[in-house]
Structure 1
Amino acid sequence: MDARQYAPATQRNREAILAVLSENLMPQSNILEIASGTGEHAIFFASNSKSWHWIPSDINPTARESIVAWKNTNNTDNLALPLDINVTQDNWSELVADRAIDAIVNINMIHISPWSACLGLMKGAGQILSGGNILYLYGPFKRNGEHTAVSNARFDESLRDRSSTWGVRDLEAVIETAATANFQLQQIVEMPANNLSVIFVKS
């Protein structure tokens, strides 16, 4: 039975995300992806940049099974087996203490999780990454407390209907949280479908 999962949004945004990552991540990098979901991004990025060593992770066992299935189907040597990482747990960074991580990528997570996930992501990333390393976030964000598009406002409402702890985050609050872990905002890139790529560098 094929365990591969599919997320339609991945097909729409993966090339645009890859273009931004290619401009900001060095060749020969070990890249930890937090909340890899179906694994479609991971297999696409690893397949299109063979010099990267892509390390996926997800809290959901079904997602991890999907990542393994994608890896097996494509036989991609530079895609690692997925890790079971929950960024809301203390000291989750210790799960990769034996690996040299050069960048962390997080796509479409912080709005579909409690705020504690963003706090935990920043704290752990600050412990893992060294000066000059990149933390990359992708997703919808509010700016100065306002939605950037009507579609994002509707999406935010649908998220909050599903869980009172979810919702499109205020970019300024995310930047402030990143600063507490010694990350400085490097670049904001407008992406398709009213999303943003937000790139931080560890100081």
Structure 2
Amino acid sequence: MEKPYSPASERNRAPILAQLREWFADRRHVLEIGSGTGQHAAHFAQAMPHLIWQSSDRAEHLPGIRLWLDAAALPNAPAPLQLDVTGSWPQWRYDAVFSANTLHIMAWHEVQQMFAALPQVTTDDACVAIYGPFNRDGQFTSDSNAAFDRELKMRAPHMGIRDAAAVDELAATAGFELAEDVAMPANNYLRLWRRRSA
């Protein structure tokens, strides 16, 4: 089996890392939800050795993630966890959560369940960083995002770009407040929420 490869992950890793270096400077244990190919996990764990970067995904993606992590051979990148957001979650509590390009792939009820589960897997001072496209006030932020949304719905009706305000509402219900909202290349955003108790 060859390592899976995502050109998008290769392109976006540098601008994402530039923000995470700042946001995760005082973090110790990160849970990545939906690690996909494993490229981000290998790259970010290598670039931020002070973090334990815990990758996770559904079972079918774990072999590919392992290939990237085995090749990197990093002491701070343990084996990926099997995680379906609608199922059981890890018992460990993390002080940071990261996810990239997942919300528009999940069904909305899965996005809801993901945010609802965050309090049980995060510390009182935790933060959550999510990368991807977001709509604003129900509107696409670019023609390319509108086209991407149509493409997603052709793949599966449950997919689609989520509205930032709706996601903020889920985060608020889970006890997280929006702290940063950074425009990224290719009409994406990197958004950070912090637990209110922090």
TM interval, shorter chain, is over 0.9
Runs of 4+, deviation exceeding 2 Å: none
Residue matched to 2:95: 102
Residue matched to 1:67: 65
Give yes or no for contact 2:93–2:120 (8 Å, CA) kept in 1: no
Per the normalisation by structure 1, the TM-score is 0.93
Deviates more, 1:103-112 or 1:122-131: 122-131
* Equivalent of 1:88 in 86, 89, 112: 86
Q: Structure 1 CA distance, aligned partners of 2:129 and 2:82?
A: 20
1:30-45 matched pairs, under 5 angstroms: 30-45=29-44
- Larger % of strand: which? 2
Residue matched to 2:127: 134
Per the normalisation by structure 2, the TM-score is 0.95
Q: Structure 2 CA distance, aligned partners of 1:28 and 1:35?
A: 20
Structure 1 gaps, min length 5: none
- Residue 198 of structure 1 aligns to a residue whose secondary structure is strand
Q: Structure 1 CA distance, aligned partners of 2:189 and 2:123?
A: 24
Give yes or no for contact 2:57–2:80 (8 Å, CA) kept in 1: yes
| Aligned-residue offset at 1:154 | 0.2
Q: Structure 2 CA distance, aligned partners of 1:41 and 1:188?
A: 20
Residue matched to 2:191: 198
Q: Structure 2 CA distance, aligned partners of 1:60 and 1:40?
A: 17
Alignment coverage as a number of residue pairs: 196
* Amino acid of the structure 1 residue aligned with 2:185: P
| Aligned-residue offset at 1:130 | 2.5
1:54-109 superposed Cα distances (whole Å, 9 cap, x missing partner): 00000142x211111111112111101011101022xx23xx21x24111101100
* Equivalent of 1:79 in 52, 77, 80: 77
Q: Structure 2 CA distance, aligned partners of 1:15 and 1:84?
A: 26
Structure 2 gaps, min length 5: none
Q: Structure 2 CA distance, aligned partners of 1:53 and 1:133?
A: 14
- Residue 58 of structure 2 aligns to a residue whose secondary structure is coil
Percent identity between matched residues is 37
Q: Structure 1 CA distance, aligned partners of 2:158 and 2:18?
A: 32
Q: Structure 2 CA distance, aligned partners of 1:28 and 1:157?
A: 37
RMSD: 1.2
Residue matched to 1:165: 158
* Equivalent of 2:167 in 164, 170, 174: 174
